[in-house]
Amino acid sequence: MEGIKIVTIGGGSSYTPELIEGFIKRYPELPVRELWLVDIPEGRKKLEVVSALAKRMVEKAGVPIEIHTTLDRREALPGADFVTTQIRVGHLEARAKDERIPLKYGVIGQETNGPGGLFKGLRTIPVILEICRDIEELCPEAWFINFSNPAGMVTEAVLRYSGITKTIGLCNVPIGMHMAVAEMLEVEQSRIHIDFAGLNHMVFGLEVYLDGKAVMGEVLDKLASGPSMTMKNIVDVGWEKDFIKALNLLPCPYHRYYYQTEKMLEQEQQALQDKGTRAEVVQDLEKELFTLYSDESLAVKPKQLEERGGAFYSDAACNLINSIYNNKQDIQVVNVRNNGAISSLPADSAVEVSCIITNEGPKPIAMGGMPVAVSGLVQQIKSFERLAAEAAVTGSYHTALLAMAINPLVSSDSTAKQILDEMLEAHKEYLPQFEKSYAG
C-alpha cells in the first residue's frame, strides 16, 4: 500500500495540531497515509478533542490522511514507518513538583535541568524503553523519533538499554537559536548557518555563518548588548557582555542556569510567589488551548500554541521525517550516537550535533573537541545523564543519589540526599523501580 504510516504516542498532547499542520503542508512530498494518535486511558478526553481537530484540519486541507486513535499502542504499531513520542509521565502535576521541591533547598527547580531533569528522566525512561520493546517486536524497521524531555538523557538510555539503533532525539532549542540569530541580523533564516555541538539543553553554536561568511563576532556583540535569545519558559536576565565576548560561542537559553545560577534562582523563587511554577502557568495555557481545540468551527492550528515553550518541536519532527523519507541530505541538529563527531565525548554517547539527514538516518558532522572553556561542563552533564539513565533502569537509590550530587546545580551531597528523598516520596506512584531501593 502506497504512503507512509506514522504513529504518535502521546497523541492527545496540545502540540499535536502543530504536527498535523506540518504533515499537511508537506503532503505533496511526504504522503502520510495513516496517522495514529495513541494515548493512555487517563488521556482519553484530550485525545478525543485533539483527534477531532486533526480530522477537521485534514478535511479542510483536502489531503487524504487517515486519522486513527487508540489507547493501545500495540494496535497502532504494526507496519509503522515512523514512531514519534511526546509523553509526560505524571502529567503537569509531576512537573510542578519537579519545579517546586528543589526551590525549598535553594536549588534551581526546572523541568529538564538539575533535580527536576533527573526525576523527569527517572519517570520517563522506563516507559520509553517499554515502547522500544514493542517497536522491536511490531515494527522493527521503523524510525523512532523522541521529543519527550529530557531528550538527550532519553536518547542515551535508548542507545544503551534497548535494541533500537534507528533512534533520534529531537529538540526545538537549536531551531529557536537559528531563528533568533536571523532576527538579530535582520535576514532570512535560509541565509544563516550555525555549527552546533554539545548535548541536549547544553548545546553551543561553535560558529555562525551569513551567506557562508563567519559572523560570530557580530552576533555576540548583538547578544551582549540587546535582548538575548530565550524561550517562553526561560526568563531573560541578560548576559555579562565581557563574559559573552570571552566565551566566543553562542550559548543556548538553558546555559543561563549554569552561568547565572544565582540570578535564575532568585527569578524562580520570585515567580513561585507571584504566579506559581511554570507547570502551573502551562496548565492554565493548556486549558485555554483545549477550549479552543473543542470549538467545532476551528480547523487550523491556533496561534496561541506558540506561547508554549515547545513551539516548533512538531514542525521540526515533520521536517526530520520528510528529510529521511526523501533523502534530502540537508543539515539538521538532532540527538544521535556521537560516533566521533565530538572528539572530546565518548563515541557511544548521545550528543546533540549538526547532522546530514539521509534516508539511512542522520550522519553526524565532525566538529572536533568542545572548546576547553566548556568541555568540562559538557562532560559533567554527560556523566550526569549516563548515571541518571542507569538509575532509571536499575532503580538503584545510590546511583540516583550520585547522579543528583554530581549535577552542577546541586550544591552538596547532603542537599542532594535531602532533595532525592523528598522527590522519591513525592513521585513514588511513577517510580515503581525504586520501591526496594531506598538507602538503609
Beta strands, E only, 15-64: 32-38
Provide the pairing of β-strand 192-199 with 202-210: antiparallel
Angle (deg, nearest 10), helices 91-104 and 114-138: 150
Contact 365, 353 (CB under 8 A): yes
Q: Determine how many CB atoms are found less than 10 A away from the CB of residue 187.
A: 14
Give the DSSP letter of residue 162: S
Helices (H) and strands (E) in the chain, counts: 16, 12
438 given a catalytic annotation: no
- Residue 387, C-alpha cell as written in the block: 548515571
Contact 330, 357 (CB under 8 A): yes
Distance of alpha carbon 296 from alpha carbon 431, whole angstroms: 39
Report, in this order, helix, strand and coil percent for the chain, each rounded to 5: 50, 15, 30
Catalytic residue among 254, 258, 325, 430: 254
| Enzyme catalytic residues | 254
